[in-house]
Structures are given as structure tokens and as C-alpha cells.
Chain A
């Protein structure tokens, strides 16, 4: 078995798919992983893949043209998920997709497809929960939010907020992947990697509180009906790992 290992970015994952495909070892004889690989196996060969924009574009174009643009967007979303087998699953589904067409995503009989759908659905839910639970603090005229997602949800989350608050200045910071999305008033947002120094400076934005944070906490307390108290239900809907930067739980 040959294992192709790449970095955690879309470009290098697509390059990894390209290299594994054109290694001509056969789909059953290759595995794809994202670095770091925790446990090396004695009988496997590991090949490190460097990102290559040309190869990545070739894969993206092939999926868009030969399968469908909708299929490509599903693939991109699934590659953003944190599951360690996401990349390998995408590879298996692509092998089926090139053979059988875009409709293959409905064929739950294939294990790879079932797994792909499971990852995609979970990723979608993670995106919605950060759309729901991202909380902004007001610093002058800028609204700043910190999130700690497991997967790379920053892009779809920002898409939502750029529609929701087009005429506000806001920043969303992904503390895990150290990326920030900046949205100036009435224009497109952009996403950039943060240096350590910038990241440390932005961490302090969480200390800003005003009368509305206090009012929100009071409202949150008062809206619950005491006679119906149900912490298990609350926990089901609002898991603890999602509560890290949420105003009412700090």
C-alpha cells in the first residue's frame, strides 16, 4: 500500500488526488492522508506531496467539466471537514463519479458514497451551528467574533454574514486554523492567514463588554421557564465545545 500524504489545504489535497491517480498503482493500492500521520505502518510506503497549483487546477477542472460543478462544490465542502478519512473518501467517490456520473451521490449502496454523505452532512451541520452561535463583540464601529470550529467552516459562515450584515464592519476569527475574515462596509470580505503576533493582538478583543452583553445575559436567564427546566435537552442542542466564545455562557 502506498500512502500519499499532503498538507491541510485545498490546493495540496487536490494535488494529492492528482498524484495518487496518476501514480498508476491502482485505486485499491493507494491511500490518501492529511499530515500529520499519527501512526506509521511498517508495510506501507509514504509519499509526501507538495502543493502544485497546476495539478490542483487540473483536478478541479476535470471534476467541473466531466462530472458537474455541483459535484465539485460538494467535494470542496467535504474536504473542509476535519475527519481524517475525508480526503481518502473523496478520492474513492471521485473514482466512482468519473465512471458513473454526478448521480452517484444518491447511490448509498457504495460504502464510499455513504461515508461521503455522512461527512458532508456533519460538515453542513457544523457550518449551521457556527452561523447560529458565532457571537460578535462591539469595538467602536467594528464587530469582532471568535470561533473555534473543528472543520474549516470560515468560508460558508462568512458567506452568510456578508449577506446578513452587508453595511457593517466585521471580523470573524477562526482561532483553530488561525485565519481571519475581514468585511469592510459595503464591500466583499477577504480571508487571510494570521501571524502569531496578529493572532495574540486579536485575542484581547474578547474582553470588551457593554450594556448589551449584560442585557443579553439577563434575557437569556429570564426567558427560560423554570418549571420546564431540561439541561439534557439544552446540552443536546448546544454542545459544550461550541460554547467557548458564546456570550451567555462565559
Chain B
């Protein structure tokens, strides 16, 4: 085996490996509350802290880099695939640690997101990642947030070590079924991803039980009010072969930490294959239910590679579809919806013109209008324009007397959506016919700007006389 030696500076490597990492979407520093300690650097806040917003509007919370962009795989959708001719680089563990510590002290970042291409072999890469995390935690005494990516095919001992050093561990599913994965990522195997996922979730549950917590991860408080949410009838396996073998070394002081306290997450690509929204959202629900995942991320496919199995290189990025999927994901986790309520085999994709919650509401007009002053939580939360926060405020305020539309507005209820579905003291806000077509038209108008913002603006734009060869005076 030959190693290619080049003399890239840390700056060059940072540029190359940030470029290579940017298509990974997860950049959250949430899920764990940890106080700072004297002699250590950093703390962690359960809500997460974003430190900047890049030109694409996405938050920068963690230093998101790859350990290496060398890769033995040739996944068709990936910029770092073996057959692509891109500049390659590999960080040394100390370089990463230095960057994290110095950036963290300047309040640029909230922690580290470390992923990697598969360098030499999964074992080798995962070992390199674990060595970096161990250095960062023990030598550099870093107490901030770490999100680590598990490399499919890595041995259990290394996964266990990574889980003990990091706060969140993630495994990318990339595609919702094994057929699509076989088509686009011939080197990968669906079982190789799902099996470690089950093991990690079992290990997290076992570690949680050991320190006196429930086996299931904490969920948004609003779920306590909603009886039939997707998390309410979950069963997590904490025994048998659903557990990682935690190495003997775990008894060391260095590794005596909670196992992935911020849970596990995954990511799926949207728009690279013909998979429908129904499939994506059903798989997400299954992942939440079976593996107790904390988040499922969606990544709109950015056409980077030329390939017959992929959308053409100049096709638009499906941003609106990604947005609708995230909205639906929130409906699952915060609003007590289930995937089968949102979509069906007859309607496998989300309506682009209005959001999934409005879409559900206009198809269930028999439930509405509901009386804000008396309705139970699981009905009220399904009203478009009322979210978990305003629901909580409504419930608290109801103890102090009747609510008016004016008070609802001040609580943050979005009346331009909610007014079609609620009554206050027996009256609707305006004279509104409860009729599907009328309401859909009005709601489409409310959403028009949002839809425009997400739509592909390269194909339509205002014509200008300069398009016809005229030049501006004085140019």
C-alpha cells in the first residue's frame, strides 16, 4: 500500500475537507445539557446553539469536517466517490483538536461534527476517528458537543468507544430501501447500516436504564399532552444481541461517560431516486419507533456527478420537497401525527402548494371548526396556525377566563391560517364558509411567498432589455 504524501497546510486541508463535508446536513448541537467544569473547556445546552449562518441560510453550529475525503466506495451520488477526480486530504488527529479548541474559545463553534470517507478500511478510519475524539476529550480536556459519524462496517468495539466519547452518534441511511441503495451505492449493504443502528440504540437504552432514566430518549414536552403520538407505544430492546460489546477499557476513567447522551440520528437523500415522500416519511416513523432515533435529516440531492442512474446535472435541487418533508417530520415529533395520516398510497407525495398540516386539515373539515376555549389538546394541536408553544399558552390562559381572537393573536397563534378552523366563544373570526375549495384557495395564497422562495428561481426571472444585446449607457 502506498501513501501519497503531500504538504498541504492546515488551511488547505480545512478548505478541502469542509467542502467535502458540507453535503452532510446534520449540524445540531442539541439534545444534551451539560454544565462546564473547572479545568475543562466547554458546556452543552439542550436547545443547541447556532453560531453563524452561511450564505445558503443553513446554520453553522458545529465544525463540520471530514477526517479524510479518501474513500474506497464509489457511491454514485457522492462528491468524494473513488472515481471522482477531486483533491484529497486527511487531517491528523492533533490538527483537528487544535482547530476545535481554538475555534471554540473564540465562540465560533459549539463543538465538532466529525465524519469521514472510508480511508483504507472501515476499521482503520473508525480507529482514527476514535483516536481523535479520545485526544480531544482527555488530552485537550474538551467538554463541548461532539457529533460523530459511525462508519458502516466498523467493528463493534470501536463503535462503542465512539459512543462513549461523543454526544451524538449518527449513521447515514442515505436511501430508504435496499433496492435504491444497491442501485446507487453498490459498495454498501442495507443490513450493514441497520444492524449497527439497532445495536447502538440498544446500547443507548441500556446505558440510560443503568443511570436511572427511562430507556426511551426524552421527547418534546408537548408529547405528554398528546395521547396517541408515535412515541407512546414504543418498545426498545435493551438486551441480547441488540447491544454493542463495550470494551473492558470502558472501566477506565477516560471512557467513563454516558453513552451518546444526545441519541442517534440519520440522514436520507431526497430526489436522487424515484422513492416517494410516503416511503421516506414512513421509514422515518419506523426509525423513530424502532430505533428511538432523535432526528432524521433530509438532504435535497444536489446534482454533483454525471451518471445515468441519477437526475441530470443541471436539474433543480428539490428544496421545496425537502422543506415539506421536514414539516411532516415535525408533525410526527411534535404534533402527534402518524405517517399514514399524512400520506397514502393513492397520494404518495406532499402537496407543493400548501403545507402538510393545512393539507390534512382541509381534507378533514368534518372535525372543524373547534372551540378554542374547550377543545382538548390533541384536537387543538391539529389546527393549522397553532403550535406546541401557543397550545401551551392557550392551556395556561384558559384557567384565567375565556379567550378572544385578540388574545390568541398576542399568544402567537397564526390567525391567517387558524381562523378557518377555530371558534372563540362560539363565533368564527370572519364570516367563513366551511368549504374545501374556498379554504384551499385562501391558504394557498398565504403560502404563496414561501413556495416561491423555495422554488427554482433560475428558470423564471424578470425579463430585462439587456437580455437582448443592449448595453447600459456608460458601460
By a beta-carbon cutoff of 8 Å, the part of chain A in contact with chain B is 103-104, 106-109, 114, 117-118, 128, 131-138, 143, 145, 161, 163-168, 186, 211-216, 218-220, 222-234, 236-238, 246-248
A228 to B322, alpha carbons, bound, how many Å? 12
Could you say which of B22, B39, B404 contacts A224, with CB atoms under 8 Å apart?
A: B22
A163 near B35 with CB under 8 A, answer yes
A135 to B109, CA, bound (A): 10
Q: Which residues of B contact A214 (CB under 8 A)?
A: 11
Residues facing A in B309-323 (CB within 8 A) are 317, 319
B2 at the interface (CB under 8 A from A): no
**B317–A228 contact, CB under 8 A?**
yes
Q: Is the CB of A246 within 8 A of B22?
A: no
Instruction: Check A137 against B106 for contact (C-beta < 8 Å).
Output: yes
**Please, which residue of chain A has its CB at the minimum distance from the CB of B39?**
A167
B108 interfacial contact with A, CB 8 Å = yes
Question: A128 CA to B48 CA in the complex, in Å?
Answer: 11
Q: Which of B380-435 contact A (CB under 8 A)?
A: 393, 396-397, 399-404, 407, 410-411
- Chain B residues closer than 8 Å to A136, beta-carbon distance: 105-107
Out of A131, A166, A211, A224, name the residue touching B49 (CB < 8 Å).
A131
Query: CB within 8 A of A163: which of B19, B43, B52, B106?
Result: B43
**Seed contacts A109-B401, A109-B404, A219-B63; 16 additional CB < 8 Å A-B pairs:** A103-B399, A103-B400, A109-B397, A136-B106, A166-B36, A186-B39, A212-B102, A215-B14, A216-B108, A224-B22, A225-B23, A228-B58, A228-B317, A228-B319, A229-B56, A234-B56
Cα A216 to Cα B107 with chains together (Å):
11
- Identify the 3 closest CB pairs spanning chains A and B, nearest first: A233-B57, A106-B396, A224-B54
Between-chain CB contacts (< 8 Å), 8 pairs: A109-B397, A128-B49, A133-B51, A134-B107, A135-B108, A168-B41, A224-B58, A247-B106
Q: Is A163 a contact of B105 with CB atoms below 8 Å?
A: no
Q: Is B40 positioned at the interface, with any CB of A under 8 Å from its CB?
A: yes
State in angstroms the CA–CA spacing of A224 and B52 once bound together: 11
| A108–B108 touching, CB < 8 Å | no
B4: CB under 8 A from chain A? Answer: no
Alpha-carbon distance A246/B50, docked complex (angstroms): 14
B57 near A220: Cβ-Cβ < 8 Å = no
User: Could you tell me if A223 and B401 are in contact, using CB atoms closer than 8 angstroms?
Assistant: no
Specify which of B14, B41, B49 is in contact with A165 (CB 8 Å cutoff).
B41
A164 to B110, CA, bound (A): 10
Q: How far is the CA of A246 from the CA of B60 in the complex (A)?
A: 14
- Chain A residues with CB under 8 A of B21: 223
Does A222 contact B22, Cβ atoms closer than 8 Å? yes
Across the interface, A167 reaches (CB within 8 A) one of B35, B41, B43, B58, namely B41
User: Given the interface contacts A215-B11, A233-B57, does A227 sit within 8 Å of B36 by beta carbon?
Assistant: no
Complex CA gap A171/B64 in Å reads 28
B401 x A107 contact (CB < 8 A)? yes
Closest A-chain residue to B37, C-beta based? A166
CB distance from B371 to the nearest CB of A (A): 17
Contact indicator A168/B105 (Cβ below 8 Å): yes
Residues in A with CB closer than 8 Å to B328 are none
Chain A: minimal CB distance from B260 (Å): 22
Which residues from A are CB-within-8-Å of B401?
A: 107, 109
Known A106-B399, A109-B397: A167·B38 in contact at CB below 8 Å: yes
Most chain B CB within a 10 A radius of its CB, from A104, A163, A247: A163
How far does the alpha carbon of A211 sit from the alpha carbon of B9 in the complex, in Å?
12
Question: What residues of A have a CB within 8 angstroms of the CB of B42 in the complex?
Answer: 164-165
A118 touches B410 (CB 8 A): yes
A237-B56 in contact (CB<8A): no
Are B63 and A236 within 8 A (Cβ)? no
A226 to B103, CA, bound (A): 24
B18 interfacial contact with A, CB 8 Å? yes
Q: Interface residues of B toward A: which range?
A: 35 or more
Q: A114-B410, A232-B453 are in contact. Are A212 and B55 (CB under 8 A)?
A: no
With known contacts A108-B407, A167-B41, A234–B399 Cβ distance under 8 A: no
The answer to whether A230 and B36 have CB atoms under 8 Å apart is no
Which residues of B have CB within 8 Å of A230?
Answer: 55-57, 453
| The one of A138, A213, A231 that contacts B105, using a Cβ cutoff of 8 Å | A138
Q: A227-B302, A232-B453 are in contact. Are A109 and B400 (CB under 8 A)?
A: yes
Across the interface, B56 reaches (CB within 8 A) one of A131, A186, A219, A224, namely A224
Q: A107-B397, A164-B42 are in contact. Are A132 and B407 (CB under 8 A)?
A: no
Do the beta carbons of A145 and B407 come within 8 Å of each other?
A: no
B444 contacts the other chain (CB 8 A)? no
Cβ–Cβ contact B36 & A165, under 8 A: yes
- Residues of A with C-beta under 8 A to B290: none
Most buried by A among B22, B57, B400: B57
In the complex, A229 Cα to B457 Cα: how many Å? 11
CB–CB A225/B397 < 8 A: no
Q: Which residue of B lies closest to A214 (CB)?
A: B11
Give 1 or 0 for each of B10-37: 1 = CB within 8 Å of chain A CB: 1100110011011100000000000111
B99 at the interface (CB under 8 A from A): yes
Q: Which residues of chain B are within 8 angstroms of A167 by Cβ–Cβ distance? A: 38-41
Do residues A218 and B106 form an inter-chain contact, with CB atoms below 8 A?
no
B12 to chain A, nearest CB (A): 9
Q: Which residues of B contact A117 (CB under 8 A)?
A: 410
A222 CA to B56 CA, complexed, in Å:
11
- Complex formed: what's the CA distance from A165 to B103 in Å? 13
Contacts of A223 in B (CB 8 A): 18, 21-22, 54, 60, 64
Is A108 a contact of B36 with CB atoms below 8 Å? no
CA of A224 to CA of B49, assembled, Å? 18
CA A118 to CA B22, docked complex, whole Å: 37
Does B236 lie at the interface of the complex (its beta carbon under 8 Å from any beta carbon of A)?
no
Interface status of B53 (Cβ within 8 A of chain A): yes
Instruction: State the Cβ distance, A162 to closest chain B Cβ, in Å.
Output: 8
A222 and B19 in contact (CB under 8 A), knowing A132-B51, A133-B52, A216-B103? Answer: yes
Once bound together, how far apart are the Cα atoms of A103 and B50, in whole Å?
A: 32
Measured in the bound complex, the distance between the Cα atoms of B400 and A237 in whole Å is 35
A110: min CB distance to chain B, Å: 9
Contacting pair A216 B36 (CB below 8 A): no
Name the residue in A109, A137, A219 with the highest tally of chain B Cβ atoms < 10 Å from its Cβ.
A219
**A residues less than 8 Å from B370 (CB atoms):** none
